[in-house]
Amino acid sequence: MARQELMEHIEILMEPIDTIQVKEVRDADTLRAAAETIGAMLLALPHLFPPTTNLYDPKVQMPATLALPRIWTDFGTFYQLAGAAASASEAMGSAQGATQLRAASKQLRSSCDACHALFLRAYLPPKVQDSDYKFDFDSALHRK
């Protein structure tokens, strides 16, 4: 889906922005430009979620989308969080100096996390099956 490509592109642009949390700030202009591009992409984001793309299937291990159905029952919140993340990007786009840039980068990452926490399926490790409990280890290991 187009929105997944958009998200992956955003993630790539975020990489140098994330690294300034732990590394020296170099090339502030590039960081600001990346943040501005991310901001523009985030404004487009909600438009890539028409109701026809509400296709999440909790039963499959690799669903076609990780976007939870809640997006379409609470689109107002979803839209608002996209706007908040776009604003955080713009703030980073005009941040000056290492301290401001670091603070803005942290805010921007939190704005991604805020939306993901509500609307993206969390990573779930494979579930333990009922049959796993019933499995008779003793006889399988000839330990009777």
Residues of the shown chain interacting with ligand HEC in the complex, contacts defined by CB under 6 A:
1, 3-4, 7-8, 10-11, 14, 38, 42, 45, 65-67, 78, 81-82, 85, 108, 111-112, 115-116, 119-120
Q: Identify which of residues 5 and 135 has a Cβ nearer to ligand HEC in the complex.
A: 5
What is the C-alpha to C-alpha distance for residues 94 and 100, in angstroms, rounded to an integer?
9
Nearer to ligand HEC, 65 or 100 (CB): 65
- Of the pair 45, 101, the CB lying nearest ligand HEC is at 45
Q: Please calculate the CA angle 10-73-76 and round it to the nearest 5 degrees.
A: 60
Nearest to 71 by CA among 86, 62, 81, 83: 81
In the complex, the smallest distance separating the C-beta of residue 140 from ligand HEC, rounded to whole angstroms, is 36
CA dist 3 and 47 (Å) reads 9
